[in-house]
Each structure stands twice: as structure tokens, then as C-alpha cells.
Amino acid sequence: MPAYPREELEEMVERWLAANRQAEREGNWIKHLGVMYTEDAEYGWNMGPNREFIARGRKQIEDWALGTHMEGFEKWRYPYEKILIDEKQGEVIGIWRQVAPVKREDGSDYEVAGIGGSWFRYGGGYQWCWQRDFFDLGNVKAMFMELAADGKLDPSVKKRLSKLARGQPLPGVVPIHASRSIGEKLKGIVAMARTVLFGV
């Protein structure tokens, strides 16, 4: 990985943060973030023990990562709390929060607990060539359940969850390894039940 001038990476981060704020204001992630990736960039994140999302190339990033996967999240905010820049490796870590566009009855934000962030690799020309997001999937699910219970879950998100529950995959989602058989899954459930109930 090549080294880059510190000032260039700092400028890239400022441009990225400004683009994010504009995307949040307008609810248009593709328009403001798509141009910030190289043509051959790669962007992914984990979606559970055996699923990954991966988009290869700017078109897939725009269509899938910033398009399909952001449906229902157009007005969510992802404020960055901390940025770490490594100019020698041309990499950046950004730590962010996930805040829903609705509030609880007491006026507090619906916010995903835990920590989230993005690991970027700079590709020159004020564009990322690689990105990997990380977040606590269990806390995201808990937030969806709370929003659903309070009648505030976005209809687009409801539709997506319904599709996933029926086994309809979202674009770019791939298995990490071969699926376990029903027998293997049952064996794991029984073993975990023994551990919880009897400590063995």
C-alpha cells in the first residue's frame, strides 16, 4: 500500500465528511458518495455468521451499497466521532454512530448501541478504493425491534425484513462458507441448551 501526503488524506476525509452531511440532508447517498469511489473500488460488510455483503466496482457500490441497501435509511444520520489517519499505509478508520430519524416519546434518539465504523483504503484522486464497514448486528436488530414495537419502523425496512425472512436475498449478499445442514444446526442448538441449562 503506497504512502500519501498527510495533507491529501486529511483533505479526503474533509471531503468525505462534507459529502456525508450533504447526503444526510438530502437523503441521497448515491449522488453525494458515489463519486468518492474509484471505478474498481470494493465495499463490504458482515451480515452475520455466514453472510457478507460485497460490492465490486463503483456501479455496484452505487446500485447496491448506496442504493438498495440504504432504502429506508435515507434520513438516518451517521455522525463520525473519531477519525484515525495512517498516511504511510494510505488508510483511514472512521468511528460513527447510527441514529434514526425519529425520536422516542421522551424526546431521546433511537440510536444503535455499541460502536460502528468504516475502514477505508485511499486510491488517490480523492477517492476510496476499498471500504469495510463494521457494526454490532445484534444491536441493529434490537433497534429494529424497538422501532417496530413503537410503530416507527420505516415501511421500506419492513419490506426488506419480510423478504429476508422469506429467503429472498438482497443483491451482493453472499455466503462465507457452505451452509450447515439442519442436523448440524440442531446439534449446535442442543449443545448450547445443555451449556445454558447445566453448564456443560
Model pTM score = 0.88
| DSSP state, residue 62 | I
User: C-alpha dihedral over 80, 57, 68, 13, to 10 degrees?
Assistant: 10
Residue 101: partners with Cβ closer than 8 Å, 6 or more residues away: 75, 76, 77
- In a domain, residue 139? The reply is yes
**Residue numbers of the domain that contains 69:** 6-198
Q: What is the mean pLDDT of the chain?
A: 93
Closest C-alpha to 96, from 82, 113, 111: 82
**Mean pLDDT computed over 112-137:** 97
Please determine, for residue 151, whether its predicted confidence score (pLDDT) is greater than 80.
yes
Q: Which residue has the higher pLDDT, 111 or 197?
A: 111
- In a domain, residue 183? The reply is yes
Please tell me the total count of domains within the chain. 1
The pLDDT assigned to 2 comes to 81
Please determine, for residue 6, whether its predicted confidence score (pLDDT) is greater than 90.
yes
Please determine, for residue 182, whether its predicted confidence score (pLDDT) is greater than 90.
no
Of the pLDDT bands very low, low, confident and very high (cuts 50, 70, 90), residue 190 is confident
- In a domain, residue 28? The reply is yes
- In a domain, residue 72? The reply is yes
Of the pLDDT bands very low, low, confident and very high (cuts 50, 70, 90), residue 188 is confident
- In a domain, residue 18? The reply is yes
Rounded to whole angstroms, the Cα distance separating 130 from 147 reads 32
Of the pLDDT bands very low, low, confident and very high (cuts 50, 70, 90), residue 139 is very high
Of the pLDDT bands very low, low, confident and very high (cuts 50, 70, 90), residue 189 is confident
- Contact, 134 vs 108, CB < 8 A? no
The pLDDT assigned to 191 comes to 78
- Contact, 118 vs 87, CB < 8 A? no
**Mean pLDDT computed over 166-187:** 81
- In a domain, residue 21? The reply is yes
- In a domain, residue 190? The reply is yes
The pLDDT assigned to 198 comes to 83
The pLDDT assigned to 95 comes to 98
Q: Which residue has the higher pLDDT, 164 or 6?
A: 6
The pLDDT assigned to 43 comes to 98
User: 25-49: per-residue pLDDT in tens?
Assistant: 999 999 999 999 999 999 999 998 8
Burial class of residue 102, CB neighbours in 10 A (0-12, 13-18, 19+): middle
**Mean pLDDT computed over 83-111:** 97
**Mean pLDDT computed over 1-13:** 94
- In a domain, residue 106? The reply is yes
CATH number, position 63? 3.10.450.50
